[in-house]
Structure 1
Amino acid sequence: MARMKLTKRNVAAIKPHENKRLYVYDTELTGFGLMVTPKGSKSYFAEYRNGVGRGASTRRVTLGSTLKLLPDEARDLAKLTIADAAKGEDPAMKKKEQREAITVAALCDIYEERHVKIKLKVTTQELYRHILQNHIKPRLGTKRAINLRKQDVAFAHLSMKDTPSIANSTLAVIGSMFAWADKHGYVPEAFNPATRIEKFKEQKRERFLTTEELERLGAAIREGETDGIPYEVDESKPTSKHAPKTENRGVLLSPHVAGAIRLLILTGARLREILTLQWGHVDLERGILLLPDSKTGKKTIILNAPAQQIIAGLPRIGKYVIASDSAGQAEEKPRADLKRPWSTVTRRAGLEGVRIHDLRHTHASFGVGASFGLPIVGKLLGHTQLRTTERYAHLETDPLRRASNSIGNSLAAAMGEKPLSDNVIGINDAR
């Protein structure tokens, strides 16, 4: 059994045996040593007795490779390990348990199956599932859950700086997942590596369609449900010879797709509220939609006359107002999204980059701009708190315009100018 002071130079000079492992013990700390395999790989270890008396067994714990640890660093780790053993703990068993502990990826799957799918609303489920599978698992999945450090989470968050909204949502989901894991015994009590990490500042995006843009959007929808929206084919590709003739290249919108887009504009409802709307939730006689569940809970949506007309004219196929491909089948499901038709329509209307959710903003902007007041608009949108609607407060300009016109006319009269009508600039022009 070789002994020497384990220094960087001495460790580098040790040569391996051809047929067996070589163990070299440190002369400064009893129980600390170096193991060298026949192939030449070197790692530090700590030895201790598990128990007291002659029957106590000797155990050895690997501390790490010489490629990752300096001798003094490994010696400090050995001191801690030997001290833990002196207190009655079993460092080898503790390390084995850590090694067998679930990974972050496994925790993501358990959390999704036992919490997300059961406790969260459908739209929230989709967001959580996307973040768990596409952002948390690729960045942190291989790490053991109980070994995840705040630095690991902070670095993952920083790596997503170009998409601050998703980065902050990812941080929130990690925090929620570890709070759940704490409650159910998967990690130590009060262990949450996502706490007290500063979030990125987010710029709230507000996009309102103008009257002229709405006119183009309406024209594109009408073209899509009649002649079809033209599309182009890359003639340089070999498959282009199988494409339809130019006059036959058109994307047709089904009545349900066109109806869904129109209802989103006319009601200001959220996408999921329209796509999951069932005929049993519709009361055309009273002009309302009675939603049993939404993002803000049970909700009533007022149907204006154009929206009532849209719903009344839709073919009834299955239980959902906006029929999907599974309409009328035993396991009928609502339509998942409108991504492809929406992209086609906005491209044709010259509105690329406009989101479906911007239709909700547009509905609100017309309501506020017409001086209906924030509380009324908030109720129409289903906001539970006024501060949510206050993001549209800057659009409430009519009272200010009337005041400004009154002052301006008074000043013009004083200057001998002819007063102008308050209606020179209409609300739609101003927008």
Structure 2
Amino acid sequence: MAKKEQTINSAITSEITLNLIKRIKPGESEYFVSDTSVSGFVIRVRPTGGMTYYYIYRYGSGRKAPTRKCSIGSINKVTPDEARKVARRYAAEVVNGGDPAKAKSADKASPTFDMLKESFLDSVDAKHKSTTYGLYSHWLGLASQTLGRKKAKDVDAGDIEKLHVGMKEKATTANRVLSTISSMYTWGMSVKEIPKMDNPCGGIKKYAEDSRERYLTNEELSRLGDAVREAETDGIPWDPDPEKKVEHAPKPENRRITIDKFSAAAIRLFILTGARRGEILKLKWSNVDLERSLLFLDDSKTRKKTIILNSPAQYILHELPKMGMYVIPGEPKTLPDGTVQERPRSDLKRPWHHVRKRAGLDASADDPNVRVRIHDLRHTHASVGVEANLSLQIIGKLLGHTQAKTTERYAHLADDPKRRASDLIGSKIVDAMGDRPRRQNVHPLRSEKT
């Protein structure tokens, strides 16, 4: 008769094998089974029957050195040989002064990509504009779909390259995602959210992007000026869409689309000042100083900013009626308590669409490069200055590309170089748009009726 195999239910020392594990039974209290080949390699046996591989060691020298336990894994997921290899690696770390248990604890506490993202966005929210926060949140959200649960420190260049390649159909977005992740890792290491490491975005080649900058020629400026004047006076002619049934369409001579004086003023101010869209649409009369020909912006993209008004821009604002706190007013909102809340105009999509199309600068043109965005008026403002041989430093100051010194807000004397630069740009734009001056030193943008 075969001898019955003896079960183990108390602490023993033996080589840990699969056969040994089969003989282990839980006891009334927890106990350990120690391996004979690797000192410190054990199986922890719980009264519930759960068994886990551990490596037990002393961290430091002497008898008073503390004992540490480092978990390797469950017997159901790791074989004895695999666990023994890990134990040997831990043993080598200890010999070299390492602390495997502490390192593993730190790894467990290490933030995931999503956790690092949230911390980074909290910092962005506190120190940057809401628009910047929104963009960063969107771009990092795209990355989170594949990297979110992975430990941030374990994300490598291969992960980033795979993500970037997967977004190749949207090259510009892919590049923005790449840049934002890189910024997040740089921030994470600087504030010690993650350990010092190679930035996983380093060395990843970005996609080539088509230049989105568009500059209007003098001939295009002339067409744009004609279209704006026509739109605000007689109106731009239109024809019914042949693919749509339009009942009771006006007579051909009455088919005209007009834009209000505020929309026309906004389009002109974009190109005459080089200001960003939000800087003009959200402009308040309290920010306008016509006496000194300045706009004092409280919250532009670059925080506080001063814009010099050249003569044509000054004239537009002088002639524009004040309909409330906003220079370009939008539809007011009535609150539940009956209070009427003033609001700025949110966009110029409709008037800009009609003006652009009339000027032959719309998206339906045969050449896709013909299309002009409102932001391209800002580029055109700068290009006119460059063509006039103005220095890039002056152009940058006019557009707010560099952070202005505190005293620069007062640099508005007649001999100030930025003043001369702004006036020169305004005069050239008015000449190109075909407007005639009404009075000395002022270039109006609306033609006189004869």
Instruction: Identify the TM-score tier after normalising by the shorter chain.
Output: 0.5 to 0.7
TM-superposed CA distance for 1:132, in Å, is 2.9
2:73 paired with 1:62: yes
Unaligned runs of 5+ in 1: 7-24, 34-44, 386-425
Counterpart amino acid of residue 119 in structure 2: I
2:289 paired with 1:278: no
User: Superposition pairs for residues 226-375 of structure 1, below 5 Å?
Assistant: 227=235, 246-247=249-250, 253=259, 255-292=261-298, 294-295=300-301, 298-325=304-331, 337-338=347-348, 342-343=352-353, 345-347=355-357, 349-352=360-363, 353-371=371-389
Partners of 2:282 and 2:345 within 8 A in 1: yes
Structure 1's 176 and 369: CA in aligned 2 closer, same or farther, altered over 3 A?
Answer: closer
Which residue number in structure 2 is paired with residue 146 of structure 1?
Answer: 153
Which structure's CA Rg is the greater one?
2
Most deviating of 217-226 and 152-161: 217-226
Counterpart amino acid of residue 378 in structure 2: R
TM-superposed CA distance for 1:142, in Å, is 2.8
User: Superposition pairs for residues 24-35 of structure 1, below 5 Å?
Assistant: none
1 CA distance for matches of 2:167 and 2:16?
49
Partners of 2:218 and 2:432 within 8 A in 1: no
The SS at the match of 1:62 is strand
1:114-137 Cα offsets, whole Å, 9 max, x none, are x2122124554444333233x333
Higher relative contact order (CA 8 A, sep 6+): 2
Unaligned runs of 5+ in 2: 1-7, 9-13, 19-33, 44-51, 364-370, 404-430, 434-450
TM-superposed CA distance for 1:322, in Å, is 2.9
Structure 1's 384 and 90: CA in aligned 2 closer, same or farther, altered over 3 A?
Answer: closer
TM-score (norm 1): 0.60
Structure 1's 301 and 85: CA in aligned 2 closer, same or farther, altered over 3 A?
Answer: same
1 CA distance for matches of 2:222 and 2:355?
12
1:93-140 Cα offsets, whole Å, 9 max, x none, are 865664564432233233223x2122124554444333233x333343
Which residue number in structure 2 is paired with residue 177 of structure 1?
Answer: 184
Structure 1's 75 and 296: CA in aligned 2 closer, same or farther, altered over 3 A?
Answer: same
Structure 1's 427 and 357: CA in aligned 2 closer, same or farther, altered over 3 A?
Answer: closer
Structure 1's 372 and 340: CA in aligned 2 closer, same or farther, altered over 3 A?
Answer: same
The SS at the match of 1:291 is strand
1:153-181 Cα offsets, whole Å, 9 max, x none, are 34333444555554444333223323333
Counterpart amino acid of residue 121 in structure 2: E
Which residue number in structure 1 is paired with residue 114 of structure 2?
Answer: 105
Equivalenced residues, count: 352
1 CA distance for matches of 2:37 and 2:242?
75
Partners of 2:294 and 2:307 within 8 A in 1: yes
Which residue number in structure 1 is paired with residue 422 of structure 2?
Answer: none
Counterpart amino acid of residue 62 in structure 1: G
Give me the identity figure in percent.
41
2:213 paired with 1:206: yes
Structure 1's 83 and 287: CA in aligned 2 closer, same or farther, altered over 3 A?
Answer: same
2 CA distance for matches of 1:332 and 1:119?
28
Superposition CA RMSD, Å? 5.2
Partners of 1:63 and 1:77 within 8 A in 2: no
1:229-270 Cα offsets, whole Å, 9 max, x none, are 8697796xxxx88x8865499987554444322211121122
TM-superposed CA distance for 1:297, in Å, is 5.8
The SS at the match of 1:156 is helix
2 CA distance for matches of 1:253 and 1:77?
75
Aligned counterpart in structure 1 of residue 124 of structure 2, from 116, 139, 152: 116
TM-superposed CA distance for 1:321, in Å, is 2.4
Counterpart amino acid of residue 286 in structure 1: R
